[in-house]
Amino acid sequence: MTIPNRPRLADMMTMPVGEVAHFSPEILILLQEEAEESLRHAKSAKDWLDAVLARRYAPIAAELRSRDGKDTGTVRFDDGSVTVVADLPKKIEWDQEQLAATVERIRAAGDDPTEYVDLAFKVPERKYGAWPGHIRTAFEAARTIKTGKPTFMLKPNNP
């Protein structure tokens, strides 16, 4: 879609939201496509730069962590006049079936498992929708519906 003299994304960012909201749908779709392309480009550039930094600094950070007897965490070191803060966060995953079995063993032993673990229940909406009415009614008081951020995708109509 070609629209001569159309506002660009950079122009839009200097305009009041109310003014931009009155643009034609054809202009809005072009702005949305431009924003999405800019986002893809920025993400690609960031991923590339992150790879460059990892290649340069990961071996030094790993050596410093190893010297400190750590596999993860934050280390700091200087590269010329720059201090590099290299963080390798811990990412813990728990096997839910094994946790549930352990919680049951704690309960069976007469202890309170909430002293050791946080217990949470989740109900996938897909399962909730498939429940029989009397089961849904039993859970209704525990269910709250919240909304997320609205999104709008503009797509050109096919001629």
In a domain, 154, yes or no: no
Residue 115 lies in a domain: yes
Residue 151 confidence class, pLDDT cut points 50, 70, 90: confident
Percentage above 90 pLDDT, the chain: 78
User: Looking at the domain assignment, is residue 2 inside a domain?
Assistant: no
Q: What is the dihedral of CA 121, 122, 127, 132, to 10 degrees?
A: 40
Q: How many domains in the chain?
A: 2
Residues 42-60, mean pLDDT to the nearest whole number: 95
Domain of 23 in residue numbering reads as 9-88
- The answer to whether residue 117 sits within a structural domain is yes
**Do residues 111 and 66 share a domain?**
no
76, part of any domain: yes
Report if pTM > 0.75: no
Say whether both 83 and 101 belong to one domain. Answer: no
Q: Are residues 64 and 17 in the same domain?
A: yes
pLDDT, position 6: 85
pLDDT of residue 18: 94
- Is pLDDT of 124 > 80? yes
Indicate if 83 and 121 belong to the same structural domain. no
- Kindly state whether residues 115 and 134 are assigned to the same domain: yes
Q: Does 158 fall in a domain?
A: no
Backbone φ and ψ for 27, nearest 5 degrees, come out as -70, -45
Q: Spell out the alpha helix ranges (H) of 14-154.
A: 17-21, 25-67, 96-108, 125-130, 133-139
